[in-house]
Amino acid sequence: MKRTAQPIGLTMGDAAGIGPEIIARLMVEGLPHPAVVYGDPGAMRRALTLIGAAQDWRVEEVKQPVCTPKGVIAVLNRWQALPEDLPYGEVHALAGRGAYEYLCHAIDDAQAGLIRAIVTAPLNKLAMQKGGIDAPGHTEILAERSHTEHYAMMLANEHLRSILVTIHEPLARVPSLITKARVLQTIRLAQLACTQAGIAKPRVAVAGLNPHAGEGGKFGLEDIEQITPAIEQACAEGIQASGPWPGDTIFMRARQGEFDIVVAQYHDQGLIPIKLLGLDEGVNVTVGLPFIRTSVDHGTAYDIAGQGKADASSLGYAYRMALSMSAHQA
C-alpha cells in the first residue's frame, strides 16, 4: 500500500501540557485525511471531556496504525498507561518519558511505512530528563532513531521558510561550527525542503554569520572563508543559491518574494523572524529524514494546560503541511 494511503501519525507529546487537548480539538474539527494518535488513551479521553466532545467522540485503543471513521480517535500506546490523575501544568517524569516513547514508536512506524508522516505535539525537555531521557529536543531524537546523518530544522509559515545550519548550540560555539561542509549540506537540505513543498526551482538565500555578512572581512572571516565557498559549490551542483546576505535584511527580502527559503546560520537568527510573525502559524519541519515530520511552533504551555482554552491553530498548520509535503514523497 502506498504511504500516502496510510494515516498521519500525531504524537501526543507531554500529557501534562496542551498536547492532548490540541490534538482532540484538531480531530473534532475534522481532518481531510485520517490520523492515528501515538499517546495515552486515558489522556486523550480526558482531553475529549475537557473540550466538551466526549458525548460525540470516543477513543479506540489500537495496536497498529489504522484509519478510523469520524467520531473515533484511534490511539496507539506501546508503553505503560499514565496515571488517570496526572496533574496538568507540572513537570512529571512519567509524562516526559511517555512523550519520548510515543515519538519513538511513531518513528519506527514511519520507517516501516505504516504512517504517511509524523506531526508532533510539544514535549518538555526537563520532564524527559526526569524520565531518564537526556535529549536536546524532538529534532535530535528523530535523527538518532532514524539513523539520519544529515538533517536540519526548518521553520515555516505562509510568508517565510528558514532552515538552520546549527540548531541547539551555545552561541559561543557557533562560529567554529560554521564550515563549508556544514553550510553546503544545509543548502542541499534547503533545496530538498522546497522540492518537497512542490517548488520546482527553489531560490535559496544564504544569510551571513556576521553583521553585514562580514563587511568584506572587517567583522569576521567566516562569511568569506566558509559560507561563500559553500554557496559556490552549491551553484556548481545546479542549486540556485545566493549570498551570503546580511542577516538583518534577508528575511524581509524573502517575505517580499525574492527568495523561497533562507539558510540561517544559528538558532535565533533563523527562528526570530518566523516567530515574530506569529506562533500560531509557524510549523517546525525536520528536513532530511526518510519520512515527513512537522511540528507545532510552541511549547507545552503548562500555564494554560487543563483549562480548555488551548489554540490548535499551529497543530492544524503542521498537519496540513505534513499532508502537502508527503504528497511529494518519492
The H helix count followed by the E strand count for the chain is 12, 12
> For 265-310, what is each residue's pLDDT tens digit?
999 999 999 888 876 678 999 999 999 999 998 889 999 999 999 9
Give percent of the chain with pLDDT exceeding 90. Answer: 84
Residues 6+ apart with CB under 8 A from 291: 110, 111, 115, 117, 118, 146, 329
Mind listing the domains of the chain with CATH numbers? 3-148+289-326 (3.40.718.10), 152-273 (3.40.718.10)
Residues 6+ apart with CB under 8 A from 49: none
Q: Which of 300, 296, 313 is nearest to 98 (CA)?
A: 300
Q: Which three cell numbers stand for residue 83?
A: 496515571
Q: Is the confidence at residue 1, as pLDDT, over 60?
A: no
pLDDT on residue 229: 98
Q: Which three cell numbers stand for residue 272?
A: 526570530
> For 99-125, what is each residue's pLDDT tens digit?
999 999 999 999 999 999 999 999 999
* DSSP assignments along 157-189, one per residue: -SS-EEEESS-S--GGGHHHH--HHHHHHHHHH
Q: Where are the alpha helices (DSSP H) in the chain?
A: 19-29, 41-50, 93-111, 125-130, 138-145, 174-177, 180-196, 222, 228-236, 250-255, 267-276, 313-326
